[in-house]
Every structure is written in structure tokens, then in C-alpha cells.
Amino acid sequence: MTQLSKASRSRILPQATVTPSELHRRKVQRHELGTRCRAIFERLSPQLIENHYNWFIAIDADSENYLIDPKLEGLLQQVRNQYTNPDAKLTIFRLNETGTCGKI
């Protein structure tokens, strides 16, 4: 029986060249954005939770605008329609006691 040699795997795209400092900077930015959006969520949720319990909410920290929808797909479609800039940063929460969108 002949032995087949292992084929070496190759990547279609070149290796990522993101430096550890850049990764850290991005992580800090995400954390800051999440903190700013969480503060807005905490302020808005008591008003919205009564009529929109378990709906999804996307918050823009810069303008403090928000979008809500009962389904995640509907919310994502609203975000695509409203924010044509691909660099827009929003955070999605769920209008419940914790703000989480799923189970961990």
C-alpha cells in the first residue's frame, strides 16, 4: 500500500500583519465604545422596556440616536438603511433587565 504524502496547506490571503499594539488599541476602542453605549442604554431602557420588552436596540454613541426592532434581522436592515457609512460604529443590546442578546 502506498503512503500518501500530506499536502501542505496554503493560505489564499497573506498572513495578517497586525501588530500587538494595534490589536490592543482596537480592543481599547471597542471597550470605550461599549461603555459609552451601555451608559446610553441604561438611560433609555426604563422608558422603552415597558412597551418593547425583549426588542433589539442599536445605539450610536456619537449622536446618541437609536433604532429598535423586535427581530435582529429587522434591526440590522434598519441599520444598513440608516447608516450608509461602512465605518459607523453601533452597539446592539436587548431591551431586558441585562441588555444581553443571548445566553453565555
Reported as a single tens digit per residue, the pLDDT across 19-68 is 899 999 999 999 999 999 999 999 999 999 989 999 999 999 999 999 99
Sheet of 56-60: strands edge to edge?
66-69, 56-60, 90-94
Cell 426604563 sits on residue: 46
Residue 2: pLDDT band by 50, 70, 90 thresholds? low
- The one-letter code for the residue type at 94 is R
Nine-digit cell at 103? 445566553
* Residue 72 banded pLDDT, cuts 50, 70, 90: very high
CA gap 41, 101 in Å, rounded? 13
The per-residue pLDDT of the chain, averaged, comes to 86
